[in-house]
Amino acid sequence: MADAAEREAMARALELAARGPVGANPQVGAVILSPDGEVLAEGWHRGAGTAHAEVDALSKLPVGRARGATAVVTLEPCNHTGRTGPCAVALLEAGIGRVVYALDDPNAVSSGGAERLRAAGVSVESGVDADRVRELLDGWLTVQRLGRPFVTVKWAQSLDGRAAAPDGTSQWITGPAARADVHRRRAEADAIVVGTGTVLADDPALTARRPDGALHEKQPLPVVLGDRPVPPDAALRRHPRQLIQRPGKDLPAVLAELRTLGAQRVFVEGGPTIASAFLREGLVDEVLAYVAPTLIGSGADGTDRPALGRLGVDTITQQRRLVVSSVETLGDDLLITAHPAIE
């Protein structure tokens, strides 16, 4: 069992990991603890071609200082000679007595470090704070596992599941706290995807903004799917990054292209047609439903504007089950975060 000092060190290692850039390599942090739980050194990985987190941390200690110490790392120490030597060997050579890590390295080429360390007599423990590390690395992990970016689909709805009134008006269903949350998530995404329907109906800017309107430092790539032209005066045309437009029927190809452009997290903002298409094709890793305590119902002529369209569910046995990971209150609204149940 990891002790309190080790758990605290893992929280710190996670903070250190987040300093690294999102790129071909994972963000990884490491903390070296003395046998009595004192922090001896910290390190993190600064991207492909640079020292791994463990080696960065060890490099800050005089020779011999890490003997009998514990290395706390967010990812399983690697076992391969890539752009750098294997971290498992660096830890052994430094005389580390115990290794605590969060996630197994999913990369077949570099995994196996834990086994190598155990075989050499090091006490190894995995899984500490794994959920939080997985959250930081969800983009990279999805690219490793599925060869495509991590896809989040977001929508806002009334309590009765409508995204707009019968006349198509939709501003504003959710309140300022929910909108601020969306902007924070836009800033964390590498690309934002909308359909031409949304562009024409809502004229979204698709920038990530702070509550005072100032732009976040990092702006996602704006992506429009559909073949209707984006008007020359659309707000989207003033986005700091060059807009990408694709007819959008082949969603795996769109995701593959975004991946080649470096995207690891894609935020699908709608509307119902685009959100439903990603869900229907099983290309969604996370769903964010912003639910406002308001009712809209359908129009006098039966016009209905539900949050989602066709999902390919014709009978109840085909319904798309989700697993809820959190329910939060944002002002008057709820945010339900869920992911598709693995069948």
In the complex with Zn ion, the residue whose CB is nearer, 46 or 246, is 46
Find the binder of ligand AOF among 12, 15, 46, 107 (CB under 6 A): 107
**123/201 Cα distance (integer angstroms):** 59
Chain residue at closest Cβ approach to ligand AOF: 82
Query: Does residue 271 have a cis peptide bond before it, meaning omega lies within 30 degrees of 0?
Result: yes
Q: Count of alpha carbons within 13 Å of 308, Cβ hemisphere only?
A: 18
Residue with tokens 């971290």: 87
For residue 195, which of 277, 116, 122, 113 has the smallest C-alpha distance? 277
Find the binder of Zn ion among 32, 87, 117, 275 (CB under 5 A): 87
The reply on whether position 75 binds ligand AOF by CB under 6 A is: yes
Q: Count of alpha carbons within 13 Å of 256, Cβ hemisphere only?
A: 5
Find the binder of ligand AOF among 110, 142, 170, 219 (CB under 6 A): 110
Whether 54 sits among the annotated catalytic residues: the reply is yes
Find the binder of Zn ion among 78, 92, 277, 330 (CB under 5 A): 78
The reply on whether position 52 binds Zn ion by CB under 5 A is: yes
- Residue 34's binding partner out of ligand AOF, Zn ion, none, with CB under 5 to 8 Å set by partner kind: none
Q: What is the torsion angle, in degrees rounded to the nearest 10, for the CA atoms of residue 157, residue 159, residue 165 and residue 168?
A: 10
How many residues are given for the chain?
343
The reply on whether position 16 binds Zn ion by CB under 5 A is: no
Looking at 74-82, 137-145, 233-241, 321-329, which segment touches Zn ion (CB under 5 A)? 74-82
For residue 339, which of 325, 318, 319 has the smallest C-alpha distance? 325
**170/187 Cα distance (integer angstroms):** 23
Question: Of 42, 54, 269, 286, which is the active-site residue?
Answer: 54
Give the bridge partners for 327, in sequence order: 336
Contacting residues toward Zn ion, per CB under 5 A: 52, 78, 87
- Write out the catalytic residue numbers: 54
Sites of contact with ligand AOF (CB under 6 A)? 25-26, 28, 45, 48, 52-54, 75, 77-78, 82-84, 87, 105, 107, 110
